[in-house]
Amino acid sequence: MTEELYEYIQKTSTVWVREQGQDIKVKDWIVPVWEEAREDWDAVLLGVPLSRSSISASAASEFPKAFRKAWELFTTYYFDEQVDFRGYKVGDLGDVKMHTTDILKCHDNIERAMKSVQQQFPASFVASIGGDHSITAPLVRAIQRKNPDKTIGIVQLDTHLDLRDLSQGPTNGTPIRQLVEGNVVKGENVYNIGLHGFYNAPSLIEAAHEHKVNMISLKQLRSKGIAQQIQEVMEQLSKKVDIVYLTVDMDVLDIAYAPGVPASTPGGMRTDELFDILFEMGKYPIVRAMDFVCIDPNRDNPALSTVKATTYAFLTALASRYIHQRKAVQQLSI
Amino acid sequence: MTEELYEYIQKTSTVWVREQGQDIKVKDWIVPVWEEAREDWDAVLLGVPLSRSSISASAASEFPKAFRKAWELFTTYYFDEQVDFRGYKVGDLGDVKMHTTDILKCHDNIERAMKSVQQQFPASFVASIGGDHSITAPLVRAIQRKNPDKTIGIVQLDTHLDLRDLSQGPTNGTPIRQLVEGNVVKGENVYNIGLHGFYNAPSLIEAAHEHKVNMISLKQLRSKGIAQQIQEVMEQLSKKVDIVYLTVDMDVLDIAYAPGVPASTPGGMRTDELFDILFEMGKYPIVRAMDFVCIDPNRDNPALSTVKATTYAFLTALASRYIHQRKAVQQLSI
Amino acid sequence: MTEELYEYIQKTSTVWVREQGQDIKVKDWIVPVWEEAREDWDAVLLGVPLSRSSISASAASEFPKAFRKAWELFTTYYFDEQVDFRGYKVGDLGDVKMHTTDILKCHDNIERAMKSVQQQFPASFVASIGGDHSITAPLVRAIQRKNPDKTIGIVQLDTHLDLRDLSQGPTNGTPIRQLVEGNVVKGENVYNIGLHGFYNAPSLIEAAHEHKVNMISLKQLRSKGIAQQIQEVMEQLSKKVDIVYLTVDMDVLDIAYAPGVPASTPGGMRTDELFDILFEMGKYPIVRAMDFVCIDPNRDNPALSTVKATTYAFLTALASRYIHQRKAVQQLSI
Amino acid sequence: MTEELYEYIQKTSTVWVREQGQDIKVKDWIVPVWEEAREDWDAVLLGVPLSRSSISASAASEFPKAFRKAWELFTTYYFDEQVDFRGYKVGDLGDVKMHTTDILKCHDNIERAMKSVQQQFPASFVASIGGDHSITAPLVRAIQRKNPDKTIGIVQLDTHLDLRDLSQGPTNGTPIRQLVEGNVVKGENVYNIGLHGFYNAPSLIEAAHEHKVNMISLKQLRSKGIAQQIQEVMEQLSKKVDIVYLTVDMDVLDIAYAPGVPASTPGGMRTDELFDILFEMGKYPIVRAMDFVCIDPNRDNPALSTVKATTYAFLTALASRYIHQRKAVQQLSI
Amino acid sequence: MTEELYEYIQKTSTVWVREQGQDIKVKDWIVPVWEEAREDWDAVLLGVPLSRSSISASAASEFPKAFRKAWELFTTYYFDEQVDFRGYKVGDLGDVKMHTTDILKCHDNIERAMKSVQQQFPASFVASIGGDHSITAPLVRAIQRKNPDKTIGIVQLDTHLDLRDLSQGPTNGTPIRQLVEGNVVKGENVYNIGLHGFYNAPSLIEAAHEHKVNMISLKQLRSKGIAQQIQEVMEQLSKKVDIVYLTVDMDVLDIAYAPGVPASTPGGMRTDELFDILFEMGKYPIVRAMDFVCIDPNRDNPALSTVKATTYAFLTALASRYIHQRKAVQQLSI
Amino acid sequence: MTEELYEYIQKTSTVWVREQGQDIKVKDWIVPVWEEAREDWDAVLLGVPLSRSSISASAASEFPKAFRKAWELFTTYYFDEQVDFRGYKVGDLGDVKMHTTDILKCHDNIERAMKSVQQQFPASFVASIGGDHSITAPLVRAIQRKNPDKTIGIVQLDTHLDLRDLSQGPTNGTPIRQLVEGNVVKGENVYNIGLHGFYNAPSLIEAAHEHKVNMISLKQLRSKGIAQQIQEVMEQLSKKVDIVYLTVDMDVLDIAYAPGVPASTPGGMRTDELFDILFEMGKYPIVRAMDFVCIDPNRDNPALSTVKATTYAFLTALASRYIHQRKAVQQLSI
């Protein structure tokens, strides 16, 4: 084909062309791992498109696709801290394979995939993109299996405790219960931040008490201040565990800010508060993995508030890690 | 019919089956008064599905139905105060009967219904669910008629003064004017909280001044602090009146939080502020009745932000009463 | 409680009060089977709220609830034929119990429930309300198990063949394949009506040919005329089978008429055509059961076009049965 | 103000500037009657913004405004008949004044307004724009009062009979009952076209039979053909009455075509059928007035299908009158 | 990277992975021309993302992206004709480069791009995807420039004549005027099919008459029948021209079927009629290029009716060409 | 026409009738300048309906119309300051004339229009209503041309720097770059307030540094406090410039508050913060003009949050000017 053809046409097709230059978009910055021979990714990204495990009907399985599509709206420059974090290398692993009707097999695939990821990229921070909250159990389990001699703690941003019993199998209401009862994580090493309102039944509160799960209400967080509260939680955890897993159920946000999360509620967190928390969490190298769950892009408003908020949150977390700990990250190995 | 049939089928039909157990939903907690022989309801609930009296077209008459439907999304455990308030007994009275074209008769029915309610349940707190704001006039009038020797005050959360003249009859713009000019409530015993912006015409301001209605702007509220402001208002009222009626026009909320209220505006209250106000109000046994008005469920967003916010507000008010004054309530009789 | 209370209030609460009189709504006509001791129901209704088996994310599991809610919009008088069919007795059985994560158990529950239904109400026509199309396989299987010596045929209104292979387990793309390969129904006894466009992959066409499934495109249907086409199909089936099962995947409708069906497409059937087909089908007593599947009420437009169209279709089918065969039905027993 | 200012600015403000030229929009063609001294209007337009009389909540009162706003999307050239009908003179009278809470007074205002219109413009065709269907009763009553020695017939395009009893006063479900029982129009002189489905309760059918209202179902219309059916109806009416009133309840349309009519249903008329009927009706000078009712612009889809369809229908009716009878109209006086 | 990693993960990232097998989706069938060395494409596809030339605001520039995204919903098997047309080779050229503020340069780029395309792929059918209707002028001009000794005719499916004068430059209202006045195409060789209603001002009708543009109304089309009408048009054109260009303004569709076209109207064509026309047009090898214009994906309904209808139409056109003329195509050279 | 006709009818038509009385709406307060002979307007309003210059597709050109329509929802009484500002005289100039395809000509028209406005009304504050942000460059240029010996500064509320290079001509991404590189405004005299997140590429930051544009992030603003920050900015500007131009890109708002701004983002400003800023800015007579840009009313939510927020912001700015400086304004002449 002659060169001339492309004088007035650009190659678009169904493929995102990666661009380079002084200015790049997030879509150009995050690279499929199979396109670049590199093992020292600062972070790797894993799509986990499962939501048929959700108690109420959800299309959160569509979120990894919507999330990647939103990348063209964001740059690699973080204005609040005046820093270009493109030097932080992020590889996209693709999505965990799912079975259409065997939900347990899906969870098993997630666990196996996470184990492979850690095998292949032991020094990389792992960011998983759900899917619903049921994915957190196999993800954390994989970390524990891979690091049998390490103790794991969890920081959970959530309006719900996710401590339901297992009578209906592993759902988006059970991950913390599974991990605690499965001896993967001790209840006392779980810090649930953002609880409020009328969304946790007494039996769950009782389960939290029984397992000594730490519950920090949104009111307490606001009263103490985000920086102070996160510092206290992380100082406590640092004394007790070797690895911290951060799980963000986006239903922690107020429904005005996250209309696309089926379980979001009035009285929840504002996005600026969430971003501040994630910025603070980025200071701690002990945090080795995180996930964002329960965003149903089919229910988002036409402005895509929720998809954009999640992308903003994800970038804040990574930018903060870049600022605070890039070198440290590279020396650590979980 | 054999038992076997229901081994794999559950009775759902068009009827909500009431459930019991450690965990119950609000739908299982609020009981139709005709299903349970009891006179000592802590609170009774009255649906008031009237909105053809609204100045601009509104389907707020559909709200009692939407409100009850939302009950399945809420539990009886209030996390912020770590209390299960199911012990607070709430009876659902059903809805006031309405006439399709005779609006005055509708208002008369509301007044007569409220009178019957007080006759039957003199010790119960009465929560009315509108409907538009025109319902407040007959509701308060009924209380005054039933308690001719008591003085009534009003705490009104509203972006508008609702002091329009009666030339177009009783509408959602006139209830306070009706009560003040009808000598049911003195203007000086009305406290309107949440006013702001460009939504009250000069003639209404003048009417407020003339009748000495107390106007507390949203800015003043924020400047003074919610707890302090409510305390001051209630202390003043306690010296002047015997009974306080709380009326919540949901248009007091910012349009970002209450898109389903036809008259909601930018620059309004946040939901967390509203919830805090209602929690504070729950401390005062002198408050004997309340209403929530002007929510049009047909205009709510698909996430149902406004319907959920109203339910959250309603539960906060009741939970606070449970916490602060349950015993007191039972000893009082209006 | 005094009578007086209900002079101005009506009992509404969260319960539909059944009304009687010259005019009743469909909600008053269809009675929960546990409320009326009767075994000779002309038809029984079974909710089947399963859609986590759907290939793409779907909230069709919410449809039985939305369907019952729509009953208040319809009367029992069918204007087109000038007949009040309230004499046709329809009992609502409730919904099949589902497991949250074990999809095979859900399908097993459906089959067992359907077997119980036939045991209990052997003479009643069974109308099942999905849920996604995966429910058709266990429903038909139950009929076959209960009538092992009878031959079953299927009339399928659908844009898709639903003949996918079982590698991903039983989904909404596999029911016909399951039934044919499971020797429950012979391919030659399946008549798929309404196929068109670009929605069936070559492997499915090949499977249809291999199993001798009868394919009647929408163009053929229109060319021959609905009455004539249905007559031909039913005459052929009457010679080959003892029982006909009618399954209506609402994605057979054009997307302009059924925006709430995730897989509806341009170029599909109009609602008036669907109603005519169902009216014709009502002439044949050999049709012993039917289902409506794949309506996701969360995706319907605000006017609820799709929910209303399904209710209209359901009523047309029953009204036609009432007109054509009520007596015959009562004498038959499958 | 210097001329120069408007070299680069155009006067827009909140006022539609009427334009003239070879091409004009409908907004430029329909002239407020107070702007042009003329008594021989071919037609006059009367807005009737009342819908608090609607049984279910409706904002049809907003329709006259939405209707006028749509005029900028239409020209005065009717392509189907290749005719520019701008020579047909249409005057806009404005809207009937309404009372906010006295619905009977609203109906009285409508009747008085219509009487004035006939007094002032006896030779003009009157097009009324609702509002809900309750407006038809006072409109027709005014014609009868003004023409006490004339007999009036009605052609009603509707999915419903509108023959409800008056126990709830005059609503959008009662106009035909009011007119028949009030001896304004004989039942045998009412032709209801477009009935179908499950939307008329038995008591209404009975009332229709009792009053000998002519019922023509949508199926009959389609079977006979529009031109033929309308011709038959009009020939019958021409023998019996002096004046025909045409009332178009837009719920006669299928819900796919009229999502903005609260009561529109599946199985209804297509817009092209409605336009054909209105074109046929335009042939009969005996038709002296018409109305379009029950369009709620707040419920229309974002594409404004329903508002545009009503405008198209309105223009078709007028264009047809222009083509068939302009001269005749001017000689007639009702 | 070890193989093992991809045992449980699939490569998804932001790139559509092309799949092969018995069943492929349209996304796997249409190949970027730069990925496959081939010059004998049966058809090539050109995205033309320009809509700032639209008279009213439009995001039709976003359509090429939305169109390609819809490819995953369609297979290469055309059920109506029982044919798999994957043997028809279609290459995606990408999108014409646009300037953000120089609209004339955009049109020049389109013309130059089209010239390059014809130079490079002289035997391929060219399908252009708009963008708004202004793109048709430069596209046809390029064909004429490349084939100076050939006569070009146009079949236009449109509710509008697009014969506006050029006083506001080349817009979506002017393409036919530009081509006729620019002597690229004679008016008598333009056949506009689908006109109706109140959407063409008298000056445009006059321009059509002056230039002898052939106007075939939707009513005429329906009266004559699609097959017959298309045959007549094409027989006439075949005698007069060497090349036929087919331009489909999707506003020809009824607003119920195409809510996402800003200018779609009531009273328009149904999708099944459009598909039939395109199928008929596929019989004529003289048709050498086509375009689809004026679809604004931001205005489409959530079900994506309009995007899907355009894809269906596009595939019908190509499938018909495959069926009727594949060999012929390869021998022809424009 | 007799008076009697208007006893029951009111003149509505398509024209807003201006009303007078104790209470007026904003629609009655803002008067077309051609309707009232006056040269001492306190402020004049200029519509600038251009958005085909927007980088991404936008219908911000429709905003002036939507803005004026919203005026009927607001009164002239500002509750927060307890003042009726109707004495502040505002004249509506209409809209700048635009060319459909020549964007440079549009910008030229804007500049020429603004020059005429200043010529005609030298003492009036000018409020321009976009349109997209590209309009700011010609508006400020006109002020500079008219006041060649004055120095101009800019306060910009924006999430973006708008310092893109001019390779794609003047767009909504370039106005500040154009003004700075065109020596109309010095970079050091530009104060951009509200920056945050991931929306400014490194090249823009570099350009800001190079031109010494002052960047104040949203976090800095919140940390310092609005009153204090604005005071500091205005004190600095007062020392450096003669005239301050205030430009408000509504994308500075959080997406929860401004869903109708195509570029609004999570993490942005709340409306109450914006209103406070505008109130503070009203204290400085040196501010001589302002604009509001980038609101696309077609993308606003059904509650019209964004249109209402802009109107509220506009009124706050004018009310504050009335309160703080009315007399001063009249003595000044730019």
- Say if residue E167's pLDDT is above 80: yes
- From chain B, the residues in CB contact with F315 under 8 A are 198
- Return the structure tokens found at F116: 């005429």
Count of residues in chain E? 334
3-class DSSP assignment, residue F268:
coil
- From chain B, the residues in CB contact with A254 under 8 A are 271
Is B94 in contact with B30 (CB distance < 8 Å)?
no
- Say if residue D209's pLDDT is above 60: yes
> Mutate which of F29, F75, F78, F79 to test chain B, going by most B C-beta atoms within 10 A?
F79
Other C-beta atoms within 10 Å of A39: how many?
A: 12
What secondary structure does DSSP assign to E190-251, as a single string? EEEEEE-TT-S-HHHHHHHHHHT-EEEEHHHHHHH-HHHHHHHHHHHHHHH-SEEEEEEEGG
Strand partners, C125: C43
- Say if residue E66's pLDDT is above 60: yes
Q: Which of A79, A82, A271 sits opposite F266 (nearest CB)?
A: A271
Cβ distance of E116 and A8 shorter than 8 Å: yes
Shortest distance between the Cα of B305 and any Cα of chain F, in A, equals 12
Residue of F nearest to A305 (CA): F255
Is C179 in contact with C140 (CB distance < 8 Å)?
yes
- Say if residue B48's pLDDT is above 50: yes
Tell me the C-alpha distance between C303 and C307, whole Å.
Answer: 9
- Say if residue A193's pLDDT is above 60: yes
> Mutate which of A100, A177, A295, A300 to test chain C, going by most C C-beta atoms within 10 A?
A100
Q: What's D102's DSSP letter? A: B
Q: Which of D24, D77, D305 sits opposite E256 (nearest CB)?
A: D305
- From chain C, the residues in CB contact with B65 under 8 A are 12
User: What's the average model confidence in pLDDT over F262-273?
Assistant: 97
Residue of C nearest to E303 (CA): C259
Residue D118's closest CA among D247, D245, D283, D233?
D245
Position of tokens 């006669």? D252
Interface of F with A (CB under 8 A): 195-206, 217, 219, 254-256, 259-260, 264-267, 299, 301
Other C-beta atoms within 10 Å of F210: how many?
A: 11
- Say if residue D241's pLDDT is above 60: yes
Cβ distance of F100 and E169 shorter than 8 Å: yes
Is C288 in contact with C244 (CB distance < 8 Å)?
yes
Average pLDDT of chain F is: 94
Tell whether residue F99 is among the known ligand binding residues: no
The pLDDT score that the predictor gives to residue D332 is 43
Is D77 in contact with E198 (CB distance < 8 Å)?
yes
Give E332's pLDDT tier (boundaries 50, 70, 90).
very low
Q: How many CA atoms lie within 13 A of A264 on its CB side?
A: 32
Residue B281's closest CA among B176, B154, B170?
B154
- Return the structure tokens found at C233: 């199909």
- Say if residue F269's pLDDT is above 50: yes
* Burial of residue B54 (number of CB atoms within 10 Å: 0-12, 13-18, 19+): buried
Q: Which of B23, B271, B301 sits opposite A259 (nearest CB)?
A: B301
Give D11's pLDDT tier (boundaries 50, 70, 90).
confident
Interface of A with F (CB under 8 A): 22-24, 26, 74-80, 82, 84, 256-257, 271-272, 275, 301-303, 305, 308-309, 312, 315, 319
Residue B218's closest CA among D189, F329, F79?
F79
Cβ distance of D99 and B168 shorter than 8 Å: yes
User: What's the average model confidence in pLDDT over D69-96?
Assistant: 95
Would you give the end-to-end CA distance of chain B in angstroms?
Answer: 50
Tell me the C-alpha distance between F213 and F181, whole Å.
Answer: 12
Residue of F nearest to D298 (CA): F302
Give D12's pLDDT tier (boundaries 50, 70, 90).
low
The pLDDT score that the predictor gives to residue C2 is 66
- Say if residue C147's pLDDT is above 90: yes
The pLDDT score that the predictor gives to residue D1 is 56
Q: How many CA atoms lie within 13 A of C90 on its CB side?
A: 25
User: What's the average model confidence in pLDDT over B129-147?
Assistant: 97
What secondary structure does DSSP assign to F206-233, as a single string? HHHHHHT-EEEEHHHHHHH-HHHHHHHH
Helix or strand run (H / E) with residue A207? helix A202-211
Cβ distance of B101 and D57 shorter than 8 Å: no
Give B332's pLDDT tier (boundaries 50, 70, 90).
very low
> Mutate which of B23, B78, B79, B273 to test chain A, going by most A C-beta atoms within 10 A?
B79
- Say if residue C1's pLDDT is above 60: no
Tell whether residue D162 is among the known ligand binding residues: yes
Q: Which of D55, D104, D299 sits opposite B100 (nearest CB)?
A: D55
Shortest distance between the Cα of F307 and any Cα of chain E, in A, equals 18
Contacts of D123 (CB under 8 A, 6+ apart): D40, D329, D330, D332, D333, D334
Tell me the C-alpha distance between E149 and B95, whole Å.
Answer: 81
Rg (chain A; Cα; Å)? 19
The pLDDT score that the predictor gives to residue B16 is 60
What secondary structure does DSSP assign to D283-318, as a single string? T-TTEEEEEEE---GGGS-TT-HHHHHHHHHHHHHH
Shortest distance between the Cα of A176 and any Cα of chain F, in A, equals 29
Q: How far, in whole angstroms, is CA B314 from its chain's centroid?
A: 7
Give B14's pLDDT tier (boundaries 50, 70, 90).
low
* pLDDT tens sequence across C286-332: 999 999 999 999 999 999 999 999 999 999 999 999 999 865 544 44
- Return the structure tokens found at C51: 């859609």
* pLDDT tens sequence across B252-262: 999 999 999 99
Average pLDDT of chain C is: 94
- Say if residue C38's pLDDT is above 80: yes
- From chain D, the residues in CB contact with C80 under 8 A are 196-197, 217, 219
Other C-beta atoms within 10 Å of B147: how many?
A: 17
Give F1's pLDDT tier (boundaries 50, 70, 90).
low
* Burial of residue F167 (number of CB atoms within 10 Å: 0-12, 13-18, 19+): exposed
* pLDDT tens sequence across E116-133: 999 999 999 999 999 999
SS (H, E, C) B77-94: EEHHHCEECCCCCEEEEE
- Interface partners of chain E (CB pairs < 8 Å, 3 or more) are A, C, D, F
* pLDDT tens sequence across A111-145: 999 999 999 999 999 999 999 999 999 999 999 99
- From chain E, the residues in CB contact with A14 under 8 A are 16, 27, 68-69, 71, 92
- Backbone φ and ψ for E32, nearest 5 degrees, come out as -55, 135
Give A332's pLDDT tier (boundaries 50, 70, 90).
very low
Amino acid in position D72 = E
Interface of E with D (CB under 8 A): 195-206, 217, 219, 254-256, 259-260, 264-267, 299, 301
User: What's the average model confidence in pLDDT over D84-93?
Assistant: 95
* pLDDT tens sequence across B69-108: 999 999 999 999 999 999 999 999 999 999 999 999 999 9
The pLDDT score that the predictor gives to residue A211 is 98
- Backbone φ and ψ for B225, nearest 5 degrees, come out as 100, 140
- Say if residue D330's pLDDT is above 70: no
> Mutate which of C160, C168, C196, C198 to test chain E, going by most E C-beta atoms within 10 A?
C198
The pLDDT score that the predictor gives to residue C6 is 78
* pLDDT tens sequence across E239-274: 999 999 999 999 999 999 999 999 999 999 999 999
- In chain F, what percentage of residues exceed pLDDT 90? 87
User: What's the average model confidence in pLDDT over A225-240?
Assistant: 98
Q: What's D96's DSSP letter? A: E
The pLDDT score that the predictor gives to residue E2 is 66
Structural domains of chain C sorted by starting position, each given as residue range(s) with its CATH number in brackets:
3-154+243-333 (3.40.800.10)
Tell me the C-alpha distance between C290 and C117, whole Å.
Answer: 14
Biggest CA–CA distance in chain D, Å, is 72
User: What's the average model confidence in pLDDT over A275-288?
Assistant: 98
- Say if residue F332's pLDDT is above 50: no
Give F334's pLDDT tier (boundaries 50, 70, 90).
very low
- From chain E, the residues in CB contact with D258 under 8 A are none
For the four alpha carbons of A115, A121, A122 and A127, in that order, the dihedral sign comes to negative
Would you give the end-to-end CA distance of chain F in angstroms?
Answer: 50
Average pLDDT of chain B is: 94
The pLDDT score that the predictor gives to residue C15 is 55
- In chain A, what percentage of residues exceed pLDDT 70? 95
Q: Which of D14, D27, D93 sits opposite F68 (nearest CB)?
A: D14
Helix or strand run (H / E) with residue B164? none
Q: What's C243's DSSP letter? A: E
Strand partners, E253: E269
Give A21's pLDDT tier (boundaries 50, 70, 90).
confident
- Say if residue B330's pLDDT is above 90: no
- Say if residue E12's pLDDT is above 90: no
Is B302 in contact with B60 (CB distance < 8 Å)?
no
Give D16's pLDDT tier (boundaries 50, 70, 90).
low
Contacts of A142 (CB under 8 A, 6+ apart): A110, A111, A112, A113, A114, A115, A118
* pLDDT tens sequence across F70-91: 999 999 999 999 999 999 999 9
User: What's the average model confidence in pLDDT over D8-15?
Assistant: 71
Interface of D with E (CB under 8 A): 22-24, 26, 74-80, 82, 84, 256-257, 271-272, 275, 301-303, 305, 308-309, 312, 315, 319
- Return the structure tokens found at E219: 């009513």
SS (H, E, C) C92-146: EEEEECCCCCEHHHHHHHHHHHHHHHHHHCCCCEEEEEECCHHHHHHHHHHHHHH
The pLDDT score that the predictor gives to residue E333 is 40
What secondary structure does DSSP assign to E126-182, as a single string? EEEEESSGGGHHHHHHHHHHHSTTS-EEEEEE-SS-----GGG-S-TT-HHHHHHHT
Give B19's pLDDT tier (boundaries 50, 70, 90).
confident
